Amino acid sequence: MTTKSDTLLSSIALILFFAVLIAAIIGAGVFVMPSSRQAEPETVVVILVSDTPVSMFPTFPPLWTNTPTLTLTHTRAPTLIRTPLTPSRTPTVTPTFTPRLTFTPSPTPTITLTPTLVVATQPPAAANGYVPPLPPNASRHAREIYARGLAAGNNPRAFSKAGDCHSTFPNFLGAYDAPNTYNLSGQYDYLRATIVQFKGSFARESMVASNGQTLDMMLDARWANPNVCKSGETPLACEVRAHKPSIMFVSLGTNEFLDTSDHYESQMRRLIFYLLDHGVVPIMATKADNREFTNYLNPINARLAKEYDVPFWDFWSAVQPLPNHGLAENYIHLSYSTHIFYFDDPAAMQLGWTIRNLTGLQALDAVWRGVR
């Protein structure tokens, strides 16, 4: 391996070689003169003897290197700064509270109802502008339905109830089949003939009137009583076949408060069409509650009664003058006492159930007298 000392010695030897050569030339007085022939130069050989091997050619350190140099430059990592988003606009939610109405039952005048389907005074419009139409008496169309039903075998002394808990025995009309459990108070004695005419139907438990009953249920064969109904028969068809009513109360809506208006109307049309097809005169009724909050079911009942030209019992109108509009504290069921069939009791006449049994009997009386 060549060391730095070897390199230096080689360099000095080379310099001395050229110095001796130049001195020899000068000392010999040899000059090259211009001539046609050049003289042959004298050759001088100088031999240097060294006990250290010397390279014949000098070795110089390289002026550059091809070895790549990797230079690492430290770059400062960016610092993430979390800046919370600030909305340009902050929504403000203002809760709206609907106060619960408190009704004071006293003093309240006693209501005197006339023996018709019409309440003495027109009630105020509901929140959505719905004004209950005045109910018609039995029309020519109703008489035609009734006559067709009798010809098909319907019983002129039978009626049925289709509805929810407000149409069940014994609270709805049930006492009229039991003497001494009601009082017509003289003023309503004219209704006694209707009680006699339909004796046996008042206390009968209908297959389409029960707690929790809905339109969907009475039109679905799966809800039919297998002990009475035929296979595949709906409760409505079973009731019409088994009892053969000439008239039927249709009082629904309380348990359909989650139905869409389209679904409710579609199902109600199915029920009405079935009754008309079998010669049964429907008495379409409104309900007292507004369980759906927007009162969209009662107008459907009223509109369909007018469209099909069938009797209409506007019970909603009848209870509007009553304390709490004839409703109990839950605003669903009717206000009640044990005297709901005693029309001579002023306190009972302020209750929803009493007015229902009076106006319901009046409706039946008006339709029966109108169709025969």
Decide: helix, strand or coil at residue 305: helix
The answer to the question of residue 298 being in a domain is yes
Helix ranges, 172-296 (H): 192-197, 215-218, 235-243, 261-277
- Clarify whether residues 183 and 284 are in a common domain: yes
- Clarify whether residues 50 and 176 are in a common domain: no
Q: Which amino acid is at 355?
A: I
DSSP 121-188: SPPPP-TTS--PPPPP---HHHHHHHHHHHHTT-EEEEEEEEESGGG-TTTTTGGGGSTTS-B-TTTT
**Contact between 162 and 252 (Cβ < 8 Å):** yes
- Clarify whether residues 269 and 173 are in a common domain: yes
Q: Which residue has the higher pLDDT, 93 or 257?
A: 257
- Clarify whether residues 48 and 146 are in a common domain: no
**Contact between 215 and 271 (Cβ < 8 Å):** yes
The answer to the question of residue 260 being in a domain is yes
Domain boundary among 54, 73, 97: 54
Q: Which residue has the higher pLDDT, 133 or 249?
A: 249
- Clarify whether residues 151 and 10 are in a common domain: no
Of the candidates 122, 121, 125, the residue with the CA atom closest to the CA atom of residue 112: 121
**For residue 272, how many other CB atoms are within 10 A of its CB?**
19
The answer to the question of residue 197 being in a domain is yes
Predicted TM-score (pTM) of this structure: 0.66
Q: Cα separation of 325 and 333, whole Å?
A: 11
Instruction: Give the percent of the chain with pLDDT over 90.
Output: 62
Per-residue pLDDT tens for 48-92? 444 444 444 444 454 444 544 444 445 555 455 555 545 445 545
The answer to the question of residue 31 being in a domain is no
What's the confidence (pLDDT) of residue 267?
Answer: 98
The answer to the question of residue 312 being in a domain is yes
The answer to the question of residue 27 being in a domain is no
Domain boundary among 54, 73, 96: 54
- Clarify whether residues 50 and 166 are in a common domain: no
Q: Which residue has the higher pLDDT, 19 or 229?
A: 229
Domains held by the chain: number: 2
Residue 157: pLDDT above 80?
Answer: yes
Per-residue pLDDT tens for 109-135? 444 433 333 333 333 343 333 343 344
- Clarify whether residues 157 and 301 are in a common domain: yes
**Contact between 313 and 365 (Cβ < 8 Å):** no
Decide: helix, strand or coil at residue 312: strand
- Clarify whether residues 15 and 160 are in a common domain: no
The answer to the question of residue 125 being in a domain is no
Q: What is the CATH number of the domain that holds 250?
A: 3.40.50.1110
What range does the domain containing 48 cover?
A: 1-21+44-54
- Clarify whether residues 340 and 206 are in a common domain: yes
Residue 280: pLDDT above 60?
Answer: yes
The answer to the question of residue 284 being in a domain is yes
- Clarify whether residues 11 and 156 are in a common domain: no
- Clarify whether residues 346 and 240 are in a common domain: yes
Per-residue pLDDT tens for 190-204? 999 999 999 999 999
